Amino acid sequence: MRQRSSSSLEASQTREAPEPLHPHKGKRSTVNAYIALTKPRIIELLLTTTIPTVILAAGGWPSWRVLIACIVFGYLASGSANAYNMVLDRDIDAVMNRTKQRPLVTGEISPRAATIFATTIGIISIAGFVLVTNWLAGLLAAVAILLYVVLYTIILKRRTDQNIVWGGLAGCMPVPIAWAAQTGSLDWPALILFLVIFFWTPPHYWPLSMKFAKDYRRAGVPMLGAVADDVTVGKRVIIYGAVTVAVSLALIPVAPMGWFYSAAAIAAGAWFMWSCIDLYRHAKNPELGKPKAMKVFHGSIYYLSILFIAVAIDPFLV
């Protein structure tokens, strides 16, 4: 597949949001529809990074007040950004197979109701962090919402194949938010964990865009896997994967981390890098079979989970 110009994909950007394609009020409850607006499966991964960060910042088990605040208000902040995203991207969601059952597409929730919901839980999350933890955590929560809604959804997503690189900054924010909630400051370990997620995000999402390339093209979204050939995607996945692993190892002397995290980071990093290389091998050599894009996508989740679980356990083994 040849590199496609993102300008050829911009025609659909002016598309009006369609009427609900599959109205089925009653198929799921109103409560479940609003929960779906928050994209809970994505938030599960965000919380996987939040809890270990609080533990590392505390040097052990943190106070329940801070931990619960990070879980509850962190969920609401992420849920607010995701709900705004569904409002703004409902035209895209309507033409993509993996998103056409989202509540705004089906008509279960109106754009106005979704916007009110997103605004409400966003305000609650920011105020909650300020009142229960500190002003810095609240400020960072507000920045996280703005990054995802404005930088990624409005500015980058429909314009460049680098959308998920810089738009992924929002997905890194649970780490500094959690660190600030516990300590009231930002320190080098928080920056390193932030960078781990930043560099991990492209090799996590780009294989997914390979799998759903047709969907993204139909929607006019220039995700890398939809506008570049598989070999190009594979090369970039290796580069970002290698930087991710390198940054994860930098945490060892900086935090500092003990033997448990060190062993886990090295072993999981080697396994993750092999999966990235294998993706490129299959892209470069078609006789080996189709690139195993979803294997890398799911493997990246396991890698990040292992890494942050090690972050959570390591302080207790010192």
Name the phi and psi angles at 153, rounded to 5: -70, -50
Scanning 133-168, the segments in alpha helix (DSSP H) are: 135-146, 163-167
Average pLDDT, rounded, for the chain: 90
What are the pLDDT tens digits along the chain (318 aa)? 444 444 343 434 334 444 444 444 446 688 999 999 998 887 777 788 999 999 999 999 999 999 999 999 999 999 999 999 999 999 999 998 888 889 999 999 999 999 999 999 999 999 999 999 999 999 999 999 999 999 999 999 999 999 999 888 998 999 999 999 999 999 999 999 999 999 999 999 999 999 999 999 988 999 999 999 999 999 999 999 999 999 999 999 999 999 999 999 999 999 999 999 999 999 999 888 888 899 999 999 999 999 999 999 999 996
Which residue's entry shows tokens 């995000």? 201
Contact between 212 and 96 under an 8 Å Cβ cutoff? The reply is: yes
Contact between 261 and 56 under an 8 Å Cβ cutoff? The reply is: no
Contact between 273 and 245 under an 8 Å Cβ cutoff? The reply is: yes
Contact between 169 and 210 under an 8 Å Cβ cutoff? The reply is: no
Q: 39: which 2 tokens? A: 């994209």
Contact between 90 and 17 under an 8 Å Cβ cutoff? The reply is: yes
CA angle 196, 143, 308 (to 5 degrees): 25
What's the rounded Cα separation, in Å, for the pair 157 and 188? Answer: 30
Peptide bond into 256 cis (omega under 30): yes
- Tell me: the pLDDT tens digits for 251-288? 999 999 999 999 999 999 999 999 999 999 999 998 88
28, 142, 301 from 312: Cα distances, Å = 36, 26, 16
Task: Tell me the domains of the chain and their CATH numbers.
Answer: 28-183 (1.10.357.140), 187-318 (1.20.120.1780)
73, 82, 192 from 43: Cα distances, Å = 12, 9, 21
Give CA 49 to chain center in angstroms: 11
- Characterize 231-252 residue by residue with b for buried, 16 or more Cβ atoms within 10 angstroms of its Cβ, and e for exposed: ebbbbbbbebbbbbbebbbbbb
What's the rounded Cα separation, in Å, for the pair 258 and 235? Answer: 32
Contact between 87 and 60 under an 8 Å Cβ cutoff? The reply is: no
What pTM was estimated for this model as a whole? 0.88
Name the phi and psi angles at 221, rounded to 5: -110, 115
